[in-house]
Chain A
Amino acid sequence: MARLKLFLPLIIFVALALLFWRGLSLNPQDMPSALLNKPVPEFALLDVETNRELKKSDLPSQPLLLNVWATWCVSCRVEHPYLNKLAEEGVPIVGINLKDDNEAAQKWLEKFHNPYLFSVSDVEGRLALDLGVFGAPETFLVDAGGTIRCKHVGVVDDRIWQTKLQPLYERLQKQSWDEFSGELSDSLLSRCH
């Protein structure tokens, strides 16, 4: 008992050290999306370029990326060339133009090339709110049935695409989510918020 008492401070120190070590390795910004495995919310918004009203039913029935962007968003400018590259490779991308000036958005698409099948103008941020978006850029991977399967907050680049989104995107092109989601590793799924 006396021997144990002697080691008590050391034991407490080790326990606290482990706790803090674990705490430091967690990302406090990590916010699991509440929309994961939920359908894309309904919307009725105007097309950035044509001003035609678009609805959820206008989304193509195939795996696609839903990308939140804006001209006021600096990182979106960084991300844009990579989206162009993905679009060239045939990845369908639908844009959500968040709380933006429509004219500025049109100019942006002219100047930097338009990688989107279409972009909807979410002036009030309504759709973004329904999607649990808290900034731009954010990108959702949506399956052919219109269900959100993966989310990335921040710029999508080569590394993010290859390690996080592409593996799921390619499988979703061949199979439905339920057929292969059981085989996916936890580490891949846990990165998908």
Chain B
Amino acid sequence: MSTRRLAIPLLALLTLLLAVVTRASVEVEPLSTPELQARYQVLIEEMRCPKCQNQNLAGSDSMVANDLRREIRRLLEDGFSDAEINDYMVARYGDFVLYRPPVQRNTLALWLAPGVFAALGLLALVVIVARSRSGRGAGQESQADELSAEEQRRLAQLLRGEGDRGSKHND
């Protein structure tokens, strides 16, 4: 029963994924070899449409995205390497076109921030866990240790005669 219940949402999710794949691969005609086609797909996924706010070349239908896709196809067929195509695009449109920006001074924060934040988070987690562990243990001990003479007396009293004393405490 439970597997059946799960199956429907899972199937729906899979269909959604398929829809994404088909949308991305609409193209006039494939490149001459599957290898080039695969590189082409990666390149247009990782390059940003200069005209659009936040879309890659694969997802945009703007004029400039069309032109750039055509240019990438031409360069691939002409035997340019991925790095050369990257340089070609950056020389014309700047680092703006790269969704995977190069590591350089002005992108250092971008590259390092996730690691730094992950490290900070991990550190915080370790500190919290360590503190709560030692804290709980120490707390119990110190409570037991620091029971004053008065408290000891009351404890003994409570343990001895809960019945009649209890009613008075409830007031």
Q: Are A and B interaction partners?
A: yes
Chain B residue at minimal CB-CB distance from A72: B63
User: Interface residue count for A (Cβ, 8 Å)?
Assistant: 17
Q: Which residues of B contact A133 (CB under 8 A)?
A: 64
Taking CB as reference atom, which chain B residue is nearest A32?
A: B94
In A21-37, the 8 Å CB interface with B consists of 28-29, 31-35
Contact status B63-A34, CB under 8 Å:
no
What is the chain A residue whose CB lies nearest that of B53?
A: A28
Q: Is the CB of A135 within 8 A of B64?
A: yes
In the complex, residue of chain A having the shortest beta-carbon distance to the beta carbon of B54: A28
Q: Pick from B51, B53, B68, B92: contact of A34, CB below 8 A.
A: B92
Q: Which of B50, B54, B63 contacts A31 (CB 8 A)?
A: B50
The answer to the question of A132 belonging to the interface, with a C-beta cut-off of 8 Å to chain B, is yes
A77 contacts chain B at the CB level, 8 A cutoff = no
**Assembled-state Cα–Cα distance A29/B93 (Å):** 13
A interface residues, Cβ below 8 angstroms from B: 28-29, 31-35, 99, 125, 128-135
Q: Count B-side interface residues using an 8 Å CB cutoff.
A: 15
Inter-chain CA distance A171–B63, complex, in Å, is: 36
Q: Smallest CB-CB separation from A130: which chain B residue?
A: B92
Question: Which of B64, B91, B92, B94 has the most chain A CB within a 10 Å cutoff?
Answer: B92
Q: B96 near A32 (CB under 8 angstroms)?
A: yes
Q: Is the CB of A31 within 8 A of B94?
A: yes
B92 — which chain A residues lie within 8 A by C-beta? 34-35, 129-132
CB <8 Å contact, B67 and A31: no
Whether B91 lies near A135 (C-beta < 8 A) is: no
Tell me which residues across on chain A come within 8 A of B91, comparing CB atoms.
34
On chain A, the residues within 8 Å of B67 by CB distance are 125, 128-129
Find A135's partner among B51, B54, B96 (CB 8 Å cutoff).
Answer: B51
B64–A31 touching, CB < 8 Å: no
> CA A128 – CA B70 in complex, angstroms?
14
Q: Is B71 an interface residue (CB 8 A)?
A: yes
Cβ proximity bits B64-96 to A, threshold 8 Å, 1 near / 0 not: 100110010000000000000000001111101
Q: Which residues of A have CB within 8 Å of B51?
A: 134-135
When the two chains form their complex, are residues B94 and A34 in contact, meaning their CB atoms are under 8 A apart? yes
Of the A-B pairs whose beta carbons lie under 8 Å apart in the complex, a sample of 23, sorted by A's number, is A28-B53, A28-B54, A29-B53, A31-B94, A31-B96, A32-B94, A32-B96, A34-B91, A34-B92, A34-B94, A35-B92, A99-B63, A125-B63, A125-B67, A128-B67, A129-B67, A129-B68, A129-B71, A130-B92, A132-B94, A133-B64, A134-B50, A135-B64
